[in-house]
Structure 1
């Protein structure tokens, strides 16, 4: 009996170590790509990501930039939360400057950006990023265009645009504060895809706070997509790897 208990304890210890290495070391360093085909008549590719949460620039961010460059987007859209406690702003500027060398970059406010928003906006300006706060910009493709609407963090907002509308916000539920013509899609982040995601259980436990925790779904009548983001807290991820989203129009 003692031998059996010892073997079971050893197996549990090994499984715990494997789980820890995977969740704290491996998955947070993965870079996955999700493709959304939204139309085929505009000749336009937009790359979306969110929740960078950078402390310091390191090899993961170098690989992230390289992967975005390989995907060759016409435009890059960032869904907010660039910051983490003790963010190195020089490193953050280095990252976004590199993105602006790939394609025009647009960004909205995240909740972690809010308390240092003046510094974040100044960093965006130095990097070449276009900051959107209740603004609508036309992104032109080879055969058409979309109207990108950057929703404010905590305010209601409409848009002067009449068609081809794509909403971008940090909070998934910000779409409930939008009033205007129906969008093609609303894209957001904030949830980290649960970060530590247990299928079914995470969706049930977090349903009240996050009706859509990750991926594609409906918020009222609107089509929405919630990204896993790319950064994390405690360098921990499980079944919600860092994610880039490619939207083809």
Structure 2
């Protein structure tokens, strides 16, 4: 019996070590790409990502920049939460400057950003990023355009646009504060896809706070997509790998 229990204990220990290694070392470095083909009539590609949570620039961020360039977007949209504790703002500015050299970059404010909004605005201004805090801008493609609506972090916003809206907010539930025509799709982040995601259990536990934890679904009549983001509160992910979202209009 002792020998059997010892073998079971060893197997469990091995599984725990393997899970920890995968979640702390491997998955946080896996960048995935989700493609959403929304139409073929505007000749327009948007790259969306969220929740960078950068401390310092390192090889993973260089790979984000390289992948963004490979995807050849017409515009890049960032869903907020650029920082974490002890962020190096010079590194953050270098990162967004590199993105701005690929395509025009737009961003909304995340809850972490709000605490350092003066510094964030300076980074965006110096790197060529346009911050949308309740603004609508036209994004032109080869054969048409869409209206990019950037929701403020915690206020209502009524867009002057009459159609073809791409709604972006940091919080998924911010769609309840939006007034205007039904969006083509609503994009958000914040949840990190659960970050350490256990199928069914995570959804049940977090259902009251996040009706949609990750992926595509509905908020009322609105089609929404909640991204996993690319960073994390800690260097930890499980079944919620870093994610770029590519939208073709």
Structure 1 length-normalised TM: 0.99
CA distance, structure 1, for counterparts of residue 234 and residue 127 of structure 2: 27
The answer for unaligned runs of 5 or more in structure 2 is none
What is the Cα deviation at residue 2 of structure 1? 1.1
What is the Cα deviation at residue 67 of structure 1? 0.6
Aligned to 1:218: 218
What is the Cα deviation at residue 181 of structure 1? 1.0
Q: How many residues align?
A: 249
SS state at 2:157 partner: coil
Aligned to 2:186: 186
CA distance, structure 1, for counterparts of residue 57 and residue 225 of structure 2: 27
Aligned to 2:146: 146
Hey, which bits of structure 1, 4+ residues long, moved more than 2 A? none
Aligned to 2:204: 204
What is the Cα deviation at residue 56 of structure 1? 0.3
CA distance, structure 2, for counterparts of residue 216 and residue 2 of structure 1: 49
Aligned to 2:6: 6
What is the Cα deviation at residue 234 of structure 1? 1.6
SS state at 1:77 partner: strand
CA distance, structure 2, for counterparts of residue 241 and residue 6 of structure 1: 34
CA distance, structure 2, for counterparts of residue 245 and residue 120 of structure 1: 23
What is the Cα deviation at residue 55 of structure 1? 0.3
1:94 lines up with 2:76 in the alignment: no
The answer for unaligned runs of 5 or more in structure 1 is none
SS state at 1:103 partner: coil
Aligned to 2:79: 79
Task: Please list the CA deviations of residues 113-161 of structure 1 after superposition, one character each: whole Å capped at 9, or x if unmatched.
Answer: 0011011011100000011011100000001000000000000101111
SS state at 1:217 partner: strand
CA distance, structure 1, for counterparts of residue 25 and residue 219 of structure 2: 34
Aligned to 1:119: 119
Q: What is the CA RMSD across the aligned residues, in angstroms?
A: 0.5
What is the Cα deviation at residue 179 of structure 1? 1.0
What is the Cα deviation at residue 224 of structure 1? 0.5
SS state at 1:99 partner: helix
What is the Cα deviation at residue 24 of structure 1? 0.3
Aligned to 1:60: 60
Task: Please list the CA deviations of residues 160-209 of structure 1 after superposition, one character each: whole Å capped at 9, or x if unmatched.
Answer: 11110010000000000001111111100000000000111111111110
Task: Please list the CA deviations of residues 44-69 of structure 1 after superposition, one character each: whole Å capped at 9, or x if unmatched.
Answer: 00000000000000000001110111
CA distance, structure 2, for counterparts of residue 234 and residue 190 of structure 1: 14
CA distance, structure 2, for counterparts of residue 219 and residue 138 of structure 1: 24
